Structure 1
Amino acid sequence: MVIKFGTDGWRAVMAEDFTFANCRVVAQGIAAYVNSRNMAKKGIVIGYDNRFMSERFALECGKVLAGNGIKVYMGKRAMPTPVTAFAIRALDAAGAVMITASHNPPEYNGIKFIPEYAGPAMPDVTDVIEQQVKKVLETGKVYELSVVEAERLELWQEIDMEDAYAEHVLSLIHKESFSRPLKVVVDPMYGAGIGYLDRILEGLGCEVRTVNNYRDPLFGGSMPEPIDRMLGSLKRAVAAYEADVGLALDGDADRFGVVDNEGQFVTANQLMYLLLLHLLKTRSYKGPIARTVATTHMLDRIAKRFGLAVIETPVGFKYIGECLREKGCLLGGEESGGLSIFGHVPEKDGILACLLAAEMLAASGKTVSQLKAEVEKEYGMLVSRRIDIKVKEHEKAQIITRLAEYTPKTVADIKVESINTVDGKKVVLEDGSWFLVRASGTEPLFRIYLETAEEEKMAKIEEEVLKALEIEFF
């Protein structure tokens, strides 16, 4: 068996590959990494989501870490990923283990390691952990302690970080903006974020209703991903309560979803550029903006107007986190719903993103559609789209070869301005339109991202690109 860490940890189907035994193997690999850096005394935080058996998997990981002489800070109950990352800093720990499969279907679970810098692990860390895991699989050596013995040796401590985390995120929010009370519907999607967002918003004087706010390991028969087609119950609740906004979190509360007062889904790209403008108008700190190669260029237009640099990264919040840590970015975000800001942990945080969205609406006294209209009037129109295309296994390598050779001079009769291969192949056109083609690293699938000023132009570009790469899309 091969255990590999993907863009955000190791995920697998429970009872197939994600078993107690393999969980212990990964924990032993992480323990070896921590001990190789002489950080055992600082301890490791363990967080877990609301998935089936997550607390039991967390317990097994904790027993292995303790068995390797590493102090364990175990969450008393389900703890969101951003709260787990925050706990690293609050406790000055060596890192954290998070048991979660984030927004994946309910049959999945996963383990991710968050290093001492409280952001997603970079490849130099996960590569070492993978090598340690490989050794454990070869030798079969896993060291464990019972919880009772770990407590006797002062290697086990239960923690509850909710109050400390809430105090921290409130320090990043302009509380005075909430003098105009908002009507908000919160949807934690049965996940680890239950109780966080609604409690903080109520403390700010908002009138809050909640949906899907109890643990359901089957996530209502769906998956806890806050995207348009998954937020039907939130849209209905916003309409029923005549709310100003609906705010959603994914399974481990690191991603956000927003529904406006009319029940329309607000994309992550749209919310990010609205929040960037809001932050630039309300905060004194000004720093560069970090976005992934697949994220809207509206951020670039706004940053340029304010004289700020934009850093483009490969897909994956770990690269955004690195920019937040090392470049002092005001905001970092990705089109899939990850965001963080200066002064916070360099980990994506859906709770904070939702709070900032609420602050923006309360401070402006305007709806999302009104704010979007103002941006379009000032900065122009941009339409974004992502399509996922599954192909046959044997076709994937052929398409990758064609993609490598694809260097057009024009697309849809528009001159090509630049081509970059930071992550996949991104083609930027003279009129500001662009598209990106990326192959999935784990399955026979291609993702195509497009952004143009109008739908008609997007359709032409899409058609030409699919034809050039010989990809069939139905």
Structure 2
Amino acid sequence: MNNHLQLQIQQWLQNDPDPRTKAQLQTLVDTGNEAELSARFAGRLAFGTAGLRGVVGAGPMGMNRLVIRQTSAGLGAYLLAQFSDAAERGVIIGYDGRHDSKTFAHDAASVLAAMGIKVRLTSKVAPTPLVAFGVRHFNAAAGIVVTASHNPPEYNGYKVYWDNGAQIIPPHDAGIAAQIDLAATLPIPFMDHDSAVSTGKLIWLGDEYYECYRQGVKQAAVLRNHTAPEKVTLAYTAMHGVGAEMAETVLKDAGFTQVYSVASQREPDGDFPTVNFPNPEEKGAMDLVIAEAKKHGAMLACANDPDADRFAVAVRKDDGEYQMLTGDQVGVLFGHYLLSHAPTNQRLVGTTIVSSSLLSKVAKVFGAQSYTTLTGFKWLMNVGLVNSCANNQLLFAYEEALGYCVGDMVLDKDGLSALVAFAQLTAELIAKGQTIWDRLEQIYREHGFHLNAQVSIALKPETPNIGAYLRQHPPVEIGDVAISSTEDLKALARKYADGRVEKIDLPPSDVLTYYLANGARVIVRPSGTEPKIKCYYEVVEPMAASDSLADVQSRAKQTLDVFIKAHQASLPQ
């Protein structure tokens, strides 16, 4: 083992406050596991716009108490440099039900308090939206949630909100990362909780704070449609996360009395014993809630992910079976529903480049403004804030990965308010003698059936750089369909087939989008780290008066399969 690695390990063992990770590291040293030690000290778990996320374990490449303390010291130093009143405005901290989350959150609070920064710390587990809500509620300088969302049990994370209530974006991510690197070379300040409370640096957020969020949902203008809630039946699962108590409460507040929770998944459990992967998008994750819905003949089977920022729903069909709606279907249903009720000064809606284009078409019919951002809620919310004004406030934003922001109370994904809104949409339709399927069909008849798919394509190691190749050899058609325009987010240019060029107002990114003459679209995102690309496909199939939803869906699926095959055949092999 080289001297540099030995020295790193030695310093880590001296500073690690956790006997478990210390012992884990010592065992690797004692057994001479140099490969594993080298991997754990190969660098530092990168702090980016989503904060930190990684596997729990010893060393700077893992999620552990020392990494959390160093990260908190770096964040604290950055906040103090950015805001003259950062110490007084302080930071709000919450955490999910994973095994280490409470300890990590408590360590973060102790470090920030020792730096003179006021900390508001939740007294128990909290859904992620409650912390995002708290940043603006308290006018805090920042917010921290210790959560790994829907990742497997061995992961944890550290998510940071800026003072505007949205997730951090550049340049703050790089600024914080630089301060973390510096903090890792210095002694970390630390104050026990009793001392922090007695000096006014630590405030515990108890039930009265959770009540503030609850009242916020109750009073939100977008959630005040109380048409026939008693007619809705729904099953719900928190997926072993932290959403159940608040989800059941806000549904009850809105008048929904026929709610059936999956008992075996209701309480927080960091082992997630009944699901292979606690993500509602994963195959099998919704099985228990669908079974619960069947048992009660419920109309909806609803789920939050473990930190309750995402929302998923399966809807009962005429044959009594349940079908999951895609994130895009839920997004366009929300957009249509909310715009049909929105006041004239709150009609701004947004989505991301890889989500369906259908929301923008719906918005156009309503005379509303829509915007499109790079992927991620950090962009959706920060761009939404820039575009929002007194006469055109943010109404709704979504991304296809089951993230929805209904109204502007929480400037992030909020699976709890989305749950209430979807139940209210369902109730309104029932009162008209209609179903969710009827509304989708109505939207598809007007705009065409939009079908989206994501495909990850592995390339041979010798395949040329795909982004560079496509820019040097721009395709003019895919299959036998002409490309009408190409967007290059690296060059920030939109080029039309007739030679016209327009500027694109987005941050640069290695993304190419091809729009076809038949309304189809493919987005190509090369991987910067391995020989593969991600492709996001969309086809639009017109719906004739004689078509059923099943007919047009089947036809769209065939069109999509042909499109994907033709596109993949056009790529360099």
* Rg larger for: 2
Residue 153, structure 1, aligned to residue 199, structure 2: yes
How many Å apart are 1:126 and its aligned residue?
A: 0.9
- The residue type paired with residue 167 of structure 1 is Q
**Equivalent residues of 1:85, 1:345 under 8 A apart:** yes
How many Å apart are 1:7 and its aligned residue?
A: 4.8
The sequence identity of aligned pairs, in percent, is 26
Q: Which residue of 2 aligns with 1:20?
A: 65
Cα distance in 1 for partners of 2:269, 2:386 equals 39
Bigger mean CA deviation after superposition, 214-223 or 52-61: 214-223
Deviations 1:224-244 (A, max 9, x none): 212152211122211121111
**Mapping for residues 47-446 of structure 1, pairs under 5 Å:** 47-137=94-184, 139-160=185-206, 161-172=209-220, 173-206=223-256, 207-211=258-262, 212-220=265-273, 221-227=275-281, 229=283, 230-262=285-317, 263-285=322-344, 286-328=346-388, 329-365=394-430, 366-390=434-458, 394=461, 398-405=465-472, 407-422=474-489, 423=509, 424-440=511-527, 445-446=532-533
- The residue type paired with residue 54 of structure 1 is S
Cα distance in 2 for partners of 1:181, 1:76 equals 36
Please state whether the residue corresponding to 1:177 is helix, strand or coil: coil
Cα distance in 2 for partners of 1:455, 1:248 equals 27
RMSD: 2.0
Bigger mean CA deviation after superposition, 383-392 or 430-439: 383-392
**Equivalent residues of 1:402, 1:469 under 8 A apart:** no
**Equivalent residues of 1:260, 1:367 under 8 A apart:** no
How many Å apart are 1:441 and its aligned residue?
A: 5.8
Cα distance in 2 for partners of 1:462, 1:141 equals 55
4+ long deviations beyond 6 Å: none
Cα distance in 1 for partners of 2:537, 2:171 equals 31
- The residue type paired with residue 69 of structure 2 is R
Deviations 1:234-287 (A, max 9, x none): 222111211111211112111111111241101110011111111111222442
**Equivalent residues of 1:261, 1:367 under 8 A apart:** no
**Equivalent residues of 2:166, 2:412 under 8 A apart:** yes
Deviations 1:171-218 (A, max 9, x none): 221242244431111111111212111121123232111121111112
**Equivalent residues of 1:256, 1:354 under 8 A apart:** yes
Q: How many residues matched?
A: 469
Selected match of 1:11 from 36, 46, 53: 53
Please state whether the residue corresponding to 2:268 is helix, strand or coil: coil
Change (3 A) 1:62 1:239: same
Please state whether the residue corresponding to 1:358 is helix, strand or coil: helix
Q: Scaled by the length of structure 2, what TM-score is found?
A: 0.78
**Equivalent residues of 1:190, 1:214 under 8 A apart:** yes
Cα distance in 1 for partners of 2:78, 2:463 equals 35
Cα distance in 2 for partners of 1:136, 1:163 equals 37
How many Å apart are 1:307 and its aligned residue?
A: 2.2
Change (3 A) 1:299 1:99: same
**Equivalent residues of 2:426, 2:435 under 8 A apart:** yes
Please state whether the residue corresponding to 2:351 is helix, strand or coil: strand
**Unaligned segments of structure 2, at least 5 residues:** 1-42, 389-393, 490-508, 542-555
Please state whether the residue corresponding to 1:195 is helix, strand or coil: helix
How many Å apart are 1:400 and its aligned residue?
A: 4.0
Please state whether the residue corresponding to 1:382 is helix, strand or coil: strand
Bigger mean CA deviation after superposition, 229-238 or 149-158: 229-238
Change (3 A) 1:7 1:189: farther
**Equivalent residues of 2:49, 2:167 under 8 A apart:** no
